[in-house]
């Protein structure tokens, strides 16, 4: 249920509405808007009777919300959400945001080298995995906590904000201390305990789409984070499982306009994991920008043949530079900035 407050409501009336919702055993979420204030209600098991709330002074209308996700849905918030990083960078506007960097942090020298190159190419955020979720237990699992110190050094030198993945409760705390954005990977999209812990933090969360999850399940995962109080969620499509085996995954660009209709949250696209193949990354990155993604997340390595993880899908720094120029030209025609 969403309560729309009368334009002339008083603070006292708003406080009373929030209090009443609490008395009924539900949770109130005050949502400030450009022209009016709304109060979202969560915590109800079944449908609520609108008349319970329409009688309260200051309430203009009570609108039942049909979707299972509430805080993540457009019913609760019409305008697009913008996630702002500490350095002022905004994600979710008409300015395309590019996240670039190696799949994994391999050493301080490797991270700094690549970070300088992606910065030169015009990327806005540096990525690099410290804790890697690998299909094989024998594959490189990431450097772990020492990589977080390397990421901090990269930010210190380049000024680029950092995004890196948290795999579990322990790494979540460490990543929260270091990163500007906490990534929750595709495999953990339905790790509800982890999502709820991330929801208690005051840090943006990049939530990747699970390989075999539906859009409703994805948005419900965002809801788990938001229900704990953290509204700074960024969605990221990274390719889904289909019968097709000509690419690593199937990049589902349909989902971008689908999400933009259903949710106010920013949505990024990761054509690196979405295709798994270097020569497919730039075309799909361009396509993602064209269908309305708010940003891209691209793996880059200057020595991909030596990369400890995901070399075959990593762009060379020069290819990122070329892609950025193409995106800049596209933006002029399609109305996004870069």
- Point out which residues bind ligand PEP (CB under 6 A): 103, 129, 133, 185-187, 208, 238, 273
* Residue-wise DSSP of 100-117: EE-SB---HHHHHHHHHH
Q: Least Å distance between CB 116 and ligand PEP?
A: 20
Residue nearest to Mn ion (CB): 103
Q: Which is nearer to ligand PEP, 58 or 129 (CB)?
A: 129
Q: Least Å distance between CB 103 and Mn ion?
A: 3
Which listed option, ligand PEP, Mn ion, none, makes contact with residue 260 (CB within 5 to 8 Å by class)? none
Q: Which is nearer to ligand PEP, 60 or 134 (CB)?
A: 134
- CA distance linking residue 141 with residue 172, whole number of Å: 16
- CA distance linking residue 300 with residue 139, whole number of Å: 20
Q: Least Å distance between CB 4 and ligand PEP?
A: 38
Beta strands in the chain (DSSP E): 2-5, 27-32, 37-42, 59-63, 83-84, 90-91, 97-101, 125-127, 162-165, 181-184, 205-208, 233-237, 267-269, 295-299
Q: Which is nearer to Mn ion, 14 or 99 (CB)?
A: 99
Closest CA to 206 of 228, 227, 189: 189
Q: Which is nearer to ligand PEP, 200 or 241 (CB)?
A: 241
164-203 footprint of Mn ion as x/- string (CB under 5 A):
----------------------------------------
- CA distance linking residue 300 with residue 289, whole number of Å: 18
Residue nearest to ligand PEP (CB): 185
- In three-state secondary structure terms, 67 is coil
Q: Least Å distance between CB 131 and ligand PEP?
A: 10
DSSP label of 300: B
Q: Which is nearer to Mn ion, 103 or 154 (CB)?
A: 103
- 17: which 2 tokens? 């509405």
- 305: which 2 tokens? 């043949």
Which listed option, ligand PEP, Mn ion, none, makes contact with residue 208 (CB within 5 to 8 Å by class)? ligand PEP
Q: Least Å distance between CB 164 and ligand PEP?
A: 9
- 48: which 2 tokens? 């609520």
Q: Which is nearer to Mn ion, 65 or 308 (CB)?
A: 308
- CA distance linking residue 5 with residue 10, whole number of Å: 9
Of 21, 98, 99, 103, the residue at the interface with Mn ion (CB under 5 A) is 103
Of 264, 310, 323, 327, the residue at the interface with Mn ion (CB under 5 A) is 310
Q: Which is nearer to ligand PEP, 186 or 315 (CB)?
A: 186
- CA distance linking residue 42 with residue 1, whole number of Å: 7
Q: Least Å distance between CB 187 and ligand PEP?
A: 6
Which listed option, ligand PEP, Mn ion, none, makes contact with residue 185 (CB within 5 to 8 Å by class)? ligand PEP
Q: Tell whether residue 284 is a contact of Mn ion (CB under 5 A).
A: no
Rounded to the nearest 5 degrees, what angle is found at the Cα of 212, between the Cα atoms of 304 and 179?
50
List beta partners, residue 130.
none
Residues that bind Mn ion (CB under 5 A): 103, 310
């Amino acid at each position: 249920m969403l309560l729309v407050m009368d334009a002339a409501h008083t603070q006292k009336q708003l406080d009373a509405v929030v209090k009443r919702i609490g008395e009924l055993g539900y949770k109130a979420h005050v949502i400030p808007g450009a022209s009016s204030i709304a109060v979202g209600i969560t915590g109800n098991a079944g449908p609520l009777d609108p008349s319970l709330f329409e009688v309260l002074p200051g309430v203009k209308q009570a609108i039942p919300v049909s979707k299972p996700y509430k805080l993540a849905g457009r019913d609760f918030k019409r305008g697009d959400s913008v996630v702002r990083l500490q350095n002022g960078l905004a994600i979710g506007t008409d300015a395309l945001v590019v996240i670039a960097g190696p799949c994994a942090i391999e050493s301080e020298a490797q991270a700094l080298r690549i970070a300088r190159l992606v910065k030169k190419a015009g990327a806005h955020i540096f990525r690099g995995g410290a804790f890697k979720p690998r299909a094989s237990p024998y594959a490189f699992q990431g450097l772990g906590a020492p990589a977080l110190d390397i990421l901090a050094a990269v930010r210190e030198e380049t000024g680029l904000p950092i995004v890196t993945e948290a795999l579990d409760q322990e790494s979540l705390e460490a990543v929260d201390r270091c990163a500007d954005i906490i990534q929750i990977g595709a495999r953990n999209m339905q790790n509800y305990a982890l999502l709820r812990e991330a929801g208690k933090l005051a840090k943006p969360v990049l939530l990747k789409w699970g390989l075999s999850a539906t859009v409703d399940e994805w948005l419900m995962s965002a809801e788990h984070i938001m229900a704990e109080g953290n509204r700074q969620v960024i969605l990221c499509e990274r390719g889904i499982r289909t019968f097709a085996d000509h690419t690593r995954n199937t990049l589902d660009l349909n989902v971008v306009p689908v999400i933009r209709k259903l949710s106010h949250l920013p949505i990024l696209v990761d054509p690196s994991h979405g295709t798994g193949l270097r020569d497919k990354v730039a075309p799909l990155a361009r396509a993602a920008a064209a269908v309305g993604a708010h940003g891209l997340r691209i793996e880059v390595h200057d020595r991909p043949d030596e990369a400890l993880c995901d070399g075959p899908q990593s762009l060379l720094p020069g290819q990122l530079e070329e892609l950025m120029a193409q995106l800049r030209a596209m933006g002029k025609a399609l109305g996004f900035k870069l």
